[in-house]
Amino acid sequence: MENLTISSNTKIIIGRESEFLVGEEIKKYSNKILLHYGGGSIKKIGLYEKVVKSLKMNNIEFIELSGVMPNPRVSLVREGIKICKENDISFILAIGGGSVIDSAKAIAIGVNNDEDIWDIFRNGKIKRNGLPLGVILTIAGSGSETSEALVINNEENKEKRLLRHKSIAPKFSILNPELTFTVPMYQTQCGVADLIAHILEIYFTPNARADLADRLCESTIKSLIDNGEKLLDDKENYDARLEILLGGIAAHSELLSVGRKGDFATHTIEHELSGLYDITHGAGISIILPAWMKYVYKVDINRFVQLANRVWNIDINYDNLEETALRGIEALKDFYKKIGLPTSLKEVYIDSSNFEYMAKRATKNGLCGNFVKLNKNDIINIYNLAL
Protein backbone atom coordinates (compact mmCIF):
# COMPACT_ATOMS: atom_id res chain seq x y z
CA MET A 1 0.00 0.00 0.00
CA GLU A 2 1.27 3.48 -0.87
CA ASN A 3 1.64 6.25 1.71
CA LEU A 4 -1.35 8.57 1.86
CA THR A 5 -2.84 11.72 3.33
CA ILE A 6 -6.63 11.99 3.64
CA SER A 7 -8.32 15.38 3.63
CA SER A 8 -11.64 16.95 2.62
CA ASN A 9 -12.08 20.59 1.72
CA THR A 10 -15.77 20.61 0.76
CA LYS A 11 -18.66 21.21 3.13
CA ILE A 12 -21.56 19.03 2.01
CA ILE A 13 -25.13 20.15 2.74
CA ILE A 14 -27.81 17.55 2.02
CA GLY A 15 -31.59 17.60 2.17
CA ARG A 16 -34.87 19.13 1.08
CA GLU A 17 -34.85 22.89 0.49
CA SER A 18 -31.13 23.05 1.30
CA GLU A 19 -30.72 25.41 -1.68
CA PHE A 20 -32.17 28.20 0.48
CA LEU A 21 -28.91 28.13 2.48
CA VAL A 22 -26.77 29.19 -0.46
CA GLY A 23 -26.69 32.91 0.35
CA GLU A 24 -25.71 32.24 3.94
CA GLU A 25 -22.83 30.06 2.78
CA ILE A 26 -21.58 32.46 0.12
CA LYS A 27 -21.47 35.51 2.38
CA LYS A 28 -18.65 33.84 4.30
CA TYR A 29 -16.49 34.38 1.23
CA SER A 30 -17.83 37.22 -0.91
CA ASN A 31 -20.60 39.72 -1.61
CA LYS A 32 -20.16 39.71 -5.38
CA ILE A 33 -20.33 36.52 -7.42
CA LEU A 34 -20.64 34.94 -10.84
CA LEU A 35 -23.82 32.87 -11.11
CA HIS A 36 -22.97 30.11 -13.60
CA TYR A 37 -25.42 27.58 -15.05
CA GLY A 38 -26.54 25.79 -18.21
CA GLY A 39 -29.85 26.45 -19.93
CA GLY A 40 -33.32 27.32 -18.71
CA SER A 41 -34.03 24.20 -16.68
CA ILE A 42 -33.16 25.81 -13.36
CA LYS A 43 -35.75 28.49 -14.08
CA LYS A 44 -38.41 25.98 -15.12
CA ILE A 45 -38.11 24.05 -11.86
CA GLY A 46 -38.09 27.22 -9.74
CA LEU A 47 -34.52 26.79 -8.53
CA TYR A 48 -33.27 30.02 -10.06
CA GLU A 49 -35.91 32.04 -8.20
CA LYS A 50 -35.02 30.40 -4.89
CA VAL A 51 -31.31 31.06 -5.36
CA VAL A 52 -31.83 34.70 -6.32
CA LYS A 53 -34.05 35.19 -3.28
CA SER A 54 -31.39 33.74 -0.99
CA LEU A 55 -28.67 35.88 -2.58
CA LYS A 56 -30.67 39.07 -2.21
CA MET A 57 -31.59 38.28 1.39
CA ASN A 58 -27.86 38.11 2.12
CA ASN A 59 -26.98 41.26 0.13
CA ILE A 60 -24.95 39.37 -2.44
CA GLU A 61 -24.57 40.98 -5.86
CA PHE A 62 -24.39 38.62 -8.82
CA ILE A 63 -23.70 38.61 -12.55
CA GLU A 64 -25.01 35.70 -14.62
CA LEU A 65 -23.31 33.55 -17.21
CA SER A 66 -25.47 30.76 -18.62
CA GLY A 67 -25.03 28.52 -21.66
CA VAL A 68 -22.88 25.69 -20.33
CA MET A 69 -23.21 22.62 -22.56
CA PRO A 70 -22.31 18.97 -22.00
CA ASN A 71 -18.57 18.58 -22.57
CA PRO A 72 -18.09 22.21 -21.39
CA ARG A 73 -16.46 24.55 -23.89
CA VAL A 74 -13.30 26.55 -23.36
CA SER A 75 -14.83 29.49 -25.27
CA LEU A 76 -17.46 30.00 -22.54
CA VAL A 77 -14.77 29.62 -19.89
CA ARG A 78 -12.85 32.48 -21.50
CA GLU A 79 -16.02 34.59 -21.46
CA GLY A 80 -16.48 33.85 -17.77
CA ILE A 81 -12.90 34.79 -16.96
CA LYS A 82 -13.36 38.11 -18.75
CA ILE A 83 -16.58 38.86 -16.85
CA CYS A 84 -14.98 38.08 -13.49
CA LYS A 85 -11.90 40.21 -14.15
CA GLU A 86 -13.86 43.17 -15.47
CA ASN A 87 -16.35 43.13 -12.58
CA ASP A 88 -14.01 42.29 -9.69
CA ILE A 89 -15.87 39.07 -8.90
CA SER A 90 -14.39 36.99 -6.11
CA PHE A 91 -16.62 33.89 -5.92
CA ILE A 92 -18.39 31.58 -8.39
CA LEU A 93 -21.62 29.70 -7.80
CA ALA A 94 -22.19 26.74 -10.13
CA ILE A 95 -25.76 25.46 -10.46
CA GLY A 96 -26.00 22.24 -12.43
CA GLY A 97 -24.11 19.01 -12.99
CA GLY A 98 -20.54 18.12 -13.76
CA SER A 99 -20.26 20.23 -16.90
CA VAL A 100 -21.34 23.42 -15.14
CA ILE A 101 -19.11 22.71 -12.15
CA ASP A 102 -16.09 21.99 -14.35
CA SER A 103 -16.72 25.16 -16.34
CA ALA A 104 -16.88 27.14 -13.08
CA LYS A 105 -13.64 25.55 -11.88
CA ALA A 106 -11.87 26.49 -15.10
CA ILE A 107 -13.10 30.08 -14.80
CA ALA A 108 -11.94 30.17 -11.18
CA ILE A 109 -8.44 29.14 -12.26
CA GLY A 110 -8.29 31.53 -15.19
CA VAL A 111 -9.22 34.63 -13.19
CA ASN A 112 -6.14 34.45 -10.97
CA ASN A 113 -3.66 33.32 -13.63
CA ASP A 114 -2.35 35.37 -16.54
CA GLU A 115 -1.91 32.59 -19.07
CA ASP A 116 -4.67 31.66 -21.48
CA ILE A 117 -6.77 28.98 -19.81
CA TRP A 118 -6.16 26.41 -22.55
CA ASP A 119 -2.40 26.89 -22.19
CA ILE A 120 -2.83 26.06 -18.51
CA PHE A 121 -4.66 22.87 -19.46
CA ARG A 122 -1.97 21.95 -21.96
CA ASN A 123 0.99 22.39 -19.61
CA GLY A 124 -0.86 21.28 -16.48
CA LYS A 125 0.68 24.03 -14.35
CA ILE A 126 -1.29 26.43 -12.15
CA LYS A 127 0.77 29.25 -10.63
CA ARG A 128 -1.93 30.76 -8.41
CA ASN A 129 -4.92 29.29 -6.62
CA GLY A 130 -8.29 29.73 -8.25
CA LEU A 131 -11.23 31.72 -6.92
CA PRO A 132 -13.36 29.96 -4.31
CA LEU A 133 -16.56 28.42 -5.63
CA GLY A 134 -19.72 26.73 -4.41
CA VAL A 135 -22.14 24.25 -5.97
CA ILE A 136 -25.84 23.52 -6.08
CA LEU A 137 -25.97 20.09 -7.68
CA THR A 138 -28.82 19.15 -10.02
CA ILE A 139 -27.52 15.83 -11.38
CA ALA A 140 -25.20 13.19 -9.96
CA GLY A 141 -22.47 11.66 -12.05
CA SER A 142 -19.12 13.37 -12.31
CA GLY A 143 -18.33 13.73 -8.62
CA SER A 144 -17.02 17.20 -9.47
CA GLU A 145 -19.05 18.63 -6.59
CA THR A 146 -16.35 17.47 -4.16
CA SER A 147 -13.31 16.75 -6.32
CA GLU A 148 -10.12 18.61 -7.20
CA ALA A 149 -10.44 17.72 -10.89
CA LEU A 150 -12.11 19.15 -13.97
CA VAL A 151 -12.37 18.41 -17.69
CA ILE A 152 -12.83 21.03 -20.44
CA ASN A 153 -13.41 20.62 -24.17
CA ASN A 154 -11.74 22.77 -26.82
CA GLU A 155 -14.34 22.95 -29.58
CA GLU A 156 -11.79 24.25 -32.08
CA ASN A 157 -9.53 21.20 -32.11
CA LYS A 158 -12.05 18.71 -30.60
CA GLU A 159 -9.73 18.00 -27.68
CA LYS A 160 -10.63 17.34 -24.04
CA ARG A 161 -8.18 17.96 -21.21
CA LEU A 162 -8.11 17.00 -17.55
CA LEU A 163 -6.67 19.26 -14.85
CA ARG A 164 -6.27 18.75 -11.10
CA HIS A 165 -5.54 21.29 -8.39
CA LYS A 166 -6.35 21.37 -4.69
CA SER A 167 -7.65 24.95 -4.81
CA ILE A 168 -10.60 24.10 -7.06
CA ALA A 169 -12.41 21.73 -4.73
CA PRO A 170 -15.70 23.56 -4.00
CA LYS A 171 -16.01 25.26 -0.62
CA PHE A 172 -19.48 23.83 -0.27
CA SER A 173 -21.87 21.65 -2.24
CA ILE A 174 -25.63 21.67 -1.75
CA LEU A 175 -27.41 18.41 -2.59
CA ASN A 176 -31.20 18.30 -2.64
CA PRO A 177 -32.40 15.09 -4.35
CA GLU A 178 -35.64 16.82 -5.36
CA LEU A 179 -33.65 19.05 -7.72
CA THR A 180 -32.76 15.97 -9.79
CA PHE A 181 -36.37 14.81 -10.34
CA THR A 182 -36.77 16.54 -13.70
CA VAL A 183 -33.43 15.44 -15.15
CA PRO A 184 -34.10 13.18 -18.18
CA MET A 185 -33.69 9.52 -17.27
CA TYR A 186 -31.00 9.04 -19.92
CA GLN A 187 -28.86 11.77 -18.37
CA THR A 188 -29.48 10.41 -14.89
CA GLN A 189 -28.36 6.94 -15.89
CA CYS A 190 -25.34 8.34 -17.72
CA GLY A 191 -24.39 9.80 -14.35
CA VAL A 192 -24.77 6.41 -12.69
CA ALA A 193 -22.52 4.86 -15.34
CA ASP A 194 -19.90 7.55 -14.85
CA LEU A 195 -19.86 7.04 -11.08
CA ILE A 196 -19.46 3.27 -11.43
CA ALA A 197 -16.58 3.88 -13.84
CA HIS A 198 -14.88 6.29 -11.42
CA ILE A 199 -14.96 3.57 -8.77
CA LEU A 200 -13.73 0.83 -11.10
CA GLU A 201 -10.88 3.07 -12.24
CA ILE A 202 -9.47 2.86 -8.70
CA TYR A 203 -10.61 -0.73 -8.11
CA PHE A 204 -8.38 -1.95 -10.93
CA THR A 205 -5.03 -1.02 -9.49
CA PRO A 206 -1.46 -2.29 -9.92
CA ASN A 207 -0.86 -1.77 -6.18
CA ALA A 208 -1.20 -4.30 -3.40
CA ARG A 209 -4.80 -4.88 -2.36
CA ALA A 210 -6.50 -2.89 0.39
CA ASP A 211 -9.40 -4.99 1.61
CA LEU A 212 -11.38 -2.15 3.21
CA ALA A 213 -11.13 -0.04 0.04
CA ASP A 214 -12.11 -3.04 -2.10
CA ARG A 215 -15.25 -3.69 -0.09
CA LEU A 216 -16.19 -0.01 0.00
CA CYS A 217 -15.84 0.11 -3.79
CA GLU A 218 -17.91 -3.03 -4.24
CA SER A 219 -20.70 -1.95 -1.90
CA THR A 220 -20.89 1.52 -3.47
CA ILE A 221 -21.19 -0.01 -6.94
CA LYS A 222 -23.94 -2.34 -5.73
CA SER A 223 -25.79 0.63 -4.23
CA LEU A 224 -25.56 2.56 -7.50
CA ILE A 225 -26.82 -0.43 -9.45
CA ASP A 226 -29.76 -1.03 -7.10
CA ASN A 227 -30.83 2.61 -6.98
CA GLY A 228 -30.30 3.20 -10.69
CA GLU A 229 -32.73 0.36 -11.32
CA LYS A 230 -35.24 1.71 -8.79
CA LEU A 231 -35.51 4.94 -10.78
CA LEU A 232 -36.72 2.99 -13.81
CA ASP A 233 -39.99 2.39 -11.96
CA ASP A 234 -40.18 5.68 -10.03
CA LYS A 235 -38.15 8.62 -11.35
CA GLU A 236 -39.12 10.72 -8.31
CA ASN A 237 -37.92 8.21 -5.75
CA TYR A 238 -36.33 10.62 -3.26
CA ASP A 239 -34.42 7.97 -1.35
CA ALA A 240 -32.99 6.36 -4.50
CA ARG A 241 -31.83 9.72 -5.84
CA LEU A 242 -30.31 10.57 -2.46
CA GLU A 243 -28.36 7.30 -2.52
CA ILE A 244 -27.04 8.12 -6.00
CA LEU A 245 -25.98 11.58 -4.83
CA LEU A 246 -24.20 9.97 -1.89
CA GLY A 247 -22.63 7.55 -4.34
CA GLY A 248 -21.17 10.54 -6.15
CA ILE A 249 -19.51 11.69 -2.93
CA ALA A 250 -18.25 8.20 -2.18
CA ALA A 251 -16.87 7.71 -5.69
CA HIS A 252 -14.41 10.54 -5.06
CA SER A 253 -13.72 9.73 -1.44
CA GLU A 254 -10.08 9.11 -0.69
CA LEU A 255 -11.12 6.12 1.39
CA LEU A 256 -11.99 4.24 -1.79
CA SER A 257 -8.59 4.91 -3.32
CA VAL A 258 -6.72 4.51 -0.05
CA GLY A 259 -3.07 3.70 -0.58
CA ARG A 260 -3.18 2.76 -4.24
CA LYS A 261 -2.91 4.15 -7.75
CA GLY A 262 -5.95 4.09 -10.00
CA ASP A 263 -6.01 3.23 -13.68
CA PHE A 264 -8.11 5.88 -15.51
CA ALA A 265 -7.39 4.53 -18.98
CA THR A 266 -11.12 4.21 -19.64
CA HIS A 267 -11.66 7.90 -18.97
CA THR A 268 -8.71 8.90 -21.12
CA ILE A 269 -9.93 6.74 -24.01
CA GLU A 270 -13.49 8.01 -23.64
CA HIS A 271 -12.44 11.66 -23.49
CA GLU A 272 -11.11 11.34 -27.01
CA LEU A 273 -14.44 9.84 -28.06
CA SER A 274 -16.68 12.51 -26.55
CA GLY A 275 -14.22 15.26 -27.45
CA LEU A 276 -14.38 14.36 -31.12
CA TYR A 277 -18.02 13.24 -31.42
CA ASP A 278 -19.59 15.27 -28.58
CA ILE A 279 -21.50 12.30 -27.18
CA THR A 280 -22.55 12.26 -23.52
CA HIS A 281 -19.60 11.23 -21.36
CA GLY A 282 -21.55 8.58 -19.42
CA ALA A 283 -22.71 6.99 -22.66
CA GLY A 284 -19.13 6.89 -23.90
CA ILE A 285 -18.16 5.24 -20.63
CA SER A 286 -20.83 2.53 -20.97
CA ILE A 287 -19.35 1.71 -24.37
CA ILE A 288 -15.64 1.85 -23.57
CA LEU A 289 -15.45 0.36 -20.06
CA PRO A 290 -16.66 -3.17 -20.93
CA ALA A 291 -14.38 -3.18 -23.98
CA TRP A 292 -11.39 -2.17 -21.83
CA MET A 293 -12.29 -4.86 -19.27
CA LYS A 294 -12.47 -7.53 -21.94
CA TYR A 295 -9.10 -6.44 -23.33
CA VAL A 296 -7.17 -6.51 -20.03
CA TYR A 297 -8.92 -9.06 -17.76
CA LYS A 298 -6.30 -11.81 -18.23
CA VAL A 299 -3.62 -9.59 -16.66
CA ASP A 300 -5.21 -10.11 -13.23
CA ILE A 301 -8.06 -12.55 -13.71
CA ASN A 302 -8.58 -13.00 -9.96
CA ARG A 303 -9.44 -9.31 -9.70
CA PHE A 304 -12.20 -9.68 -12.26
CA VAL A 305 -13.44 -12.87 -10.64
CA GLN A 306 -13.68 -11.08 -7.30
CA LEU A 307 -15.70 -8.27 -8.87
CA ALA A 308 -18.04 -10.73 -10.60
CA ASN A 309 -18.63 -12.60 -7.37
CA ARG A 310 -18.97 -9.73 -4.92
CA VAL A 311 -20.87 -7.23 -7.09
CA TRP A 312 -22.90 -9.44 -9.43
CA ASN A 313 -23.28 -12.46 -7.09
CA ILE A 314 -21.86 -14.78 -9.73
CA ASP A 315 -20.69 -18.11 -8.32
CA ILE A 316 -16.98 -18.69 -8.91
CA ASN A 317 -16.15 -21.51 -11.29
CA TYR A 318 -12.80 -22.55 -9.86
CA ASP A 319 -12.26 -24.90 -12.80
CA ASN A 320 -12.70 -22.03 -15.24
CA LEU A 321 -11.95 -18.63 -13.73
CA GLU A 322 -12.06 -17.06 -17.18
CA GLU A 323 -15.72 -17.95 -17.51
CA THR A 324 -16.51 -16.20 -14.20
CA ALA A 325 -14.56 -13.10 -15.18
CA LEU A 326 -16.29 -12.83 -18.54
CA ARG A 327 -19.72 -13.36 -16.98
CA GLY A 328 -18.98 -10.38 -14.71
CA ILE A 329 -18.15 -8.18 -17.69
CA GLU A 330 -21.33 -9.27 -19.47
CA ALA A 331 -23.34 -8.53 -16.30
CA LEU A 332 -22.08 -4.93 -16.40
CA LYS A 333 -23.07 -4.64 -20.07
CA ASP A 334 -26.50 -6.09 -19.31
CA PHE A 335 -26.97 -3.50 -16.56
CA TYR A 336 -26.09 -0.68 -18.95
CA LYS A 337 -28.61 -2.01 -21.45
CA LYS A 338 -31.27 -2.32 -18.75
CA ILE A 339 -30.92 1.35 -17.79
CA GLY A 340 -31.05 2.45 -21.41
CA LEU A 341 -27.39 3.13 -22.23
CA PRO A 342 -25.43 2.08 -25.32
CA THR A 343 -22.77 -0.62 -25.12
CA SER A 344 -21.37 -0.39 -28.65
CA LEU A 345 -20.11 2.38 -30.89
CA LYS A 346 -22.48 1.40 -33.68
CA GLU A 347 -25.40 2.33 -31.41
CA VAL A 348 -24.18 5.95 -31.42
CA TYR A 349 -23.30 5.84 -35.15
CA ILE A 350 -19.53 5.89 -34.73
CA ASP A 351 -17.35 3.84 -37.08
CA SER A 352 -13.65 2.99 -37.13
CA SER A 353 -12.52 5.88 -39.33
CA ASN A 354 -10.96 7.91 -36.49
CA PHE A 355 -9.68 5.12 -34.23
CA GLU A 356 -6.01 5.70 -35.04
CA TYR A 357 -6.39 9.48 -34.65
CA MET A 358 -8.07 9.16 -31.23
CA ALA A 359 -5.60 6.53 -30.03
CA LYS A 360 -2.67 8.72 -31.06
CA ARG A 361 -4.07 11.64 -29.07
CA ALA A 362 -4.81 9.44 -26.05
CA THR A 363 -1.14 8.43 -25.93
CA LYS A 364 0.45 11.74 -26.89
CA ASN A 365 1.92 12.07 -23.37
CA GLY A 366 3.00 8.43 -23.14
CA LEU A 367 1.39 5.12 -22.33
CA CYS A 368 -2.18 5.23 -21.08
CA GLY A 369 -3.37 3.74 -17.78
CA ASN A 370 -1.75 2.09 -14.76
CA PHE A 371 -3.45 -1.29 -14.31
CA VAL A 372 -2.18 -2.10 -17.78
CA LYS A 373 0.03 0.32 -19.69
CA LEU A 374 -1.64 0.79 -23.07
CA ASN A 375 0.03 1.96 -26.27
CA LYS A 376 -1.64 3.32 -29.38
CA ASN A 377 -2.29 -0.11 -30.87
CA ASP A 378 -3.82 -1.34 -27.61
CA ILE A 379 -6.28 1.54 -27.64
CA ILE A 380 -7.18 0.91 -31.29
CA ASN A 381 -7.90 -2.69 -30.31
CA ILE A 382 -10.17 -1.50 -27.48
CA TYR A 383 -12.06 0.79 -29.84
CA ASN A 384 -12.52 -2.18 -32.18
CA LEU A 385 -13.84 -4.31 -29.32
CA ALA A 386 -16.32 -1.50 -28.62
CA LEU A 387 -17.71 -1.54 -32.16
In order, the DSSP letters of 180-230 are GTTS-HHHHHHHHHHHHHHHHHHHS-SSPP-HHHHHHHHHHHHHHHHHHHH
What is the per-residue pLDDT across 62-95, written as a single tens digit (0 to 9) for each?
999 999 998 899 999 999 999 999 999 999 999 9
**pLDDT score of 105 more than 80:** yes
User: Quick check: helix, strand or coil at residue 289?
Assistant: helix
Q: Tell me: pLDDT of 321 over 90.
A: yes
pLDDT at site 365:
86
pLDDT at 165: 85
Strands 149-154 and 159-164: antiparallel
In this model, does residue 6 exceed pLDDT 70? no
Phi/psi at 333 (5° precision): -60, -40
Do residues 261 and 206 lie in contact, with contact meaning Cβ atoms separated by under 8 Å? yes
Residue among 384, 194, 177 at smallest CA distance from 294 = 384
User: Is-contact 36 4, C-beta < 8 A?
Assistant: no
Q: Express each pLDDT in 360-385 by its tens digit.
A: 999 988 999 999 999 999 999 999 99
Decide if pLDDT at 143 tops 80: no
Q: Which residue has the higher pLDDT, 155 or 105?
A: 105
Q: Which residue has the higher pLDDT, 54 or 157?
A: 54
Using the predicted structure, report yes or no on whether residue 17 has a pLDDT greater than 70. Answer: yes
Q: When comparing pLDDT for 207 and 14, which is higher? A: 14
Contact (Cβ atoms closer than 8 angstroms) between residue 199 and residue 213 = no
* Confidence bin at 206 (pLDDT 50/70/90): confident
Average pLDDT, the chain: 92
| pLDDT at residue 8 tops 70 | no
Closest CA to 102 of 25, 192, 15, 38: 38
For residues 11 and 172, the answer to whether their CB atoms sit within 8 Å is: yes
